[in-house]
Amino acid sequence: MSQLPVVAAAMPGEMDKPLISRCLVDSDGSLAEAPSEAPRVGILGSGDFARSLATRLVCSGFSVVVGSRNPKRSAGLFPNAVQVTFQEEAVSSPDVIFVAVYREHYSSLCGLSDQLTGKILVDVSNPTEQEHLRHHESNAEYLASLFPTCTVVKAFNVISAWTLQSGPRDGNRQVPVCGNQPEAKRVVSEMAHAMGFMPMDMGSLASAREVEALPLRLLPGWKVPTLLALGLFVCFYAYNFVRDVLEPYVQEGKNRFYKLPVSVVNTTLPCVAYVLLSLVYLPGVLAAALQLQRGTKYRRFPDWLDHWLQHRKQIGLLSFFCAALHALYSFCLPLRRSHRYELVNLALKQVLANKSHLWVEEEVWRMEIYLSLGVLALGTLSLLAVTSLPSIANSLNWREFNFVQSTLGFVALVLSTLHTLTYGWTRAFEESCYKFYLPPTFTLTLLVPCVVILAKGLFLLPCLSRRLARIRRGWEKGSALKFTPPTDNAPVEKTSHV
C-alpha cells in the first residue's frame, strides 16, 4: 500500500449532525461538485446499491467516481457531483474502490487487474441463500483470489440501498467490517464512520462468510419456539372446540358456535402461555438432574437439551405474549353481547323463581383470588420481559439479571399455577365438567408445571442442593480417588453454557 487516502479529515466529530447539511446542494437543488481536496472513492457498478452509496458518500464529503460499462446510459441516474465514466478510468485514481457488482460478474472485472494493483477493494455483496450454501468460500474471499494484488475488505453488506439513501437514522447502524490488513480495515471503518454508521471489527477475511450470512437470517432462534407455540395453540384450540362447542351441539343440539372467536380463544391462549412458561423452567431442572446423576458438570448435555436451554428466552417471550393476550381477552369477556343476554336471562329466571338474592360466597372468593393471582403473575412476567430488552439487560449485573430471570420467573410460574388451581377449584372432580369424558382443559396444563415446581423444591433439599452447588463449582464424583485407571475416564468434553 503506497499511499492511503486522508479520510480522517472528512470525519465529522459527531454523527448526529443533520445529514443534509453536509450535502453540498446547489441553488438548483442538485448536489454540487465536492471540493477537489475531498478524498476520492471509486465505485464499480451503477446499480441500485452503487447509486445509493454514491449519494451517501458525496453527502459525507467524499469525491466519487463511478465505473460503468456504459457510462452514457448510467450518468443520468447519479447526482451531478458524481463522476460517471468507464471502468478503466474510474479505478485509476482512487485508492478505495467499492465493488457494487454481483458475484457472478466479478470475473468480468479481471481486465482491470493491473490498474487495481495495491488498492483496497470493498466487497459489499450479499449472496442469496442458495449461493451461500453452494459456495464454500465467501464472496469476499473469491474476490481476493481473483485480485491477489489488492487488499479486500468486507463491509456494508448488511446495509440496504434504502438505508444508505434515507440515512442511517432508520434501521440498523452497525456495519461489520472484516479483512486481513488492519490498515485497510481502518480506512474502510473510518469511511463507514464518516457516513454515520458504526463500524464493527469482525476480524480477518475468514469471517467474511459469517458476515455474509448475517442478512440471510430472519429472526434466528424463533422458528422452533414459534412452531411450538403454534402447535400447542392448535392442539388446545381443537380440544376446547370439542369440549365447549361440539359437545353441546351433538349432545343437546345447542348452538354455541359464537364462542369460537373469544371464549374458545381465551381458554386456549392461557393454556399455551402456561405450558410454554413451564417449558422455560423444565430444561433447567433436567440439566440439574443430569448433573446430579453424572456427578460432574464437565460433560456435555445431549444436543436436544442444549438446544432447548438456548431457546428459553424465545419460549419465555412467547409465553408472555400469550399471557398478555389472555389478559386482554379476559377484560373483554364482560363486554360481549352474549354475556349481557346471559345476565338478563339469569335475572329473569331469578324473578320467575321468586328468588331475590343471588350470592354464592365461595364463587365470589374464588374469582377474587384467581383474578388477583393472574394479575400478579402477569405483572411478574412483565418484569422478565422488560429485563430481556438488551438495553435493560446491559444495565444489570449478572446476579441481578439472574435474580429476575431465574427467581422471579419461577415465582411467576408458581403464581400462574395458583391462578390456574383457584380458577379450576373443584371442577377437576365434578362429573358434569367432563365433556365426552374429556377432563377440563386446565387439568391437562397442570402436569408439566407441577413437575417443575416439585423438582425445584426437591433440589432445594439440603442434601441435593449442597451436592449440586459443589458440582457447579467444579467438584467431580470420584475425583477424590487418586488412581483412576485411564480407561474409566470419559474424554473431557466441551462444557455446556449452563
262 is written with which cell numbers? Answer: 373469544
Q: What's the gap between Cα 264 and its chain centre?
A: 30
Determine contact, residues 87/66, Cβ cutoff 8 Å. Answer: no
Question: Kindly report the CA angle at 230 between 386 and 450, in degrees rounded to 5?
Answer: 70
Q: Compose the 272-311 pattern: x for residues touching Cu ion by CB under 5 A, - for all others.
A: -----------------------------------x----
236 contacts ligand FAD (rule: CB under 6 A): no
Q: Which does 270 bind (CB under 5 to 8 A by kind): ligand NDP, ligand HEM, ligand FAD, none?
A: ligand HEM
Residue from 61, 374, 409, 449 touching ligand HEM (CB under 6 A): that is 374
Minimum separation from the CB atom of position 350 to ligand HEM (A): 22
58 contacts ligand NDP (rule: CB under 6 A): no
Residue from 60, 83, 125, 263 touching ligand NDP (CB under 6 A): that is 125
For the chain, the residue count is 498
167 contacts ligand NDP (rule: CB under 6 A): no
371 contacts ligand HEM (rule: CB under 6 A): yes
Residue 340: partners with Cβ closer than 8 Å, 6 or more residues away? none
76 is written with which cell numbers? Answer: 443520468
Q: What's the gap between Cα 326 and its chain centre?
A: 23
174-179 and 151-154 beta bridge pairing? antiparallel
Question: Kindly report the CA angle at 309 between 400 and 298, in degrees rounded to 5?
Answer: 90
Q: How far is CA 100 from CA 86, 122, 215, in A?
A: 15, 9, 16
Q: Single out the segment in contact with ligand FAD by CB under 6 A; choices: 111-119, 134-142, 188-196, 274-282.
A: 274-282
In the DSSP assignment, the letter for residue 104 is G
- Order of strands across the sheet with 83-86? 83-86, 63-68, 40-44, 96-99, 120-123, 151-154, 174-179, 198-201
Residue at shortest CB range from Fe ion: 224
Minimum separation from the CB atom of position 50 to ligand NDP (A): 5
CB atoms within 10 A of CB 484: 10
Q: Among residues 66 and 413, whose Cβ is nearest to ligand HEM?
A: 413
Q: Among residues 307 and 466, whose Cβ is nearest to Cu ion?
A: 307
Q: Compose the 33-52 pattern: x for residues touching ligand NDP by CB under 6 A, - for all others.
A: ------------xxxxxx--
498 contacts ligand FAD (rule: CB under 6 A): yes
Q: Compose the 255-274 pattern: x for residues touching ligand HEM by CB under 6 A, - for all others.
A: -----------xx--xx-xx
Minimum separation from the CB atom of position 60 to ligand NDP (A): 18
Q: Judged by CB under 6 A, how many residues of this single chain contact ligand HEM?
A: 24
Strand partners, 178: 154
Q: Compose the 324-353 pattern: x for residues touching ligand HEM by CB under 6 A, - for all others.
A: --xx--x-----------------------
**Positions in 65-104 near ligand NDP (CB under 6 A):** 68-70, 74, 100-102
Closest CA to 225 of 301, 319, 304, 325: 319
3-state percent helix, strand, coil for the chain, nearest multiple of 5: 60, 10, 30
239 contacts ligand HEM (rule: CB under 6 A): no
Question: Kindly report the CA angle at 100 between 97 and 105, in degrees rounded to 5?
Answer: 110
- The Cα 293–Cα 142 span in angstroms is 50
319 contacts ligand FAD (rule: CB under 6 A): yes
- The Cα 61–Cα 9 span in angstroms is 10
Q: Among residues 307 and 340, whose Cβ is nearest to Cu ion?
A: 307
Residue from 51, 243, 311, 312 touching ligand FAD (CB under 6 A): that is 312
Q: What's the gap between Cα 403 and its chain centre?
A: 22
Closest CA to 239 of 446, 436, 448, 449: 436
Q: Judged by CB under 6 A, how many residues of this single chain contact ligand FAD?
A: 21
Residue from 441, 449, 452, 471 touching ligand HEM (CB under 6 A): that is 441
- Provide the binding-site residues for Cu ion, judged by CB under 5 A: 307
- Provide the binding-site residues for ligand FAD, judged by CB under 6 A: 277, 280-281, 284, 297, 312-313, 316-317, 319-320, 381, 384-385, 388, 402, 405-406, 409, 472, 498
- Provide the binding-site residues for ligand NDP, judged by CB under 6 A: 45-50, 68-70, 74, 100-102, 105, 108, 124-126, 157, 160-161
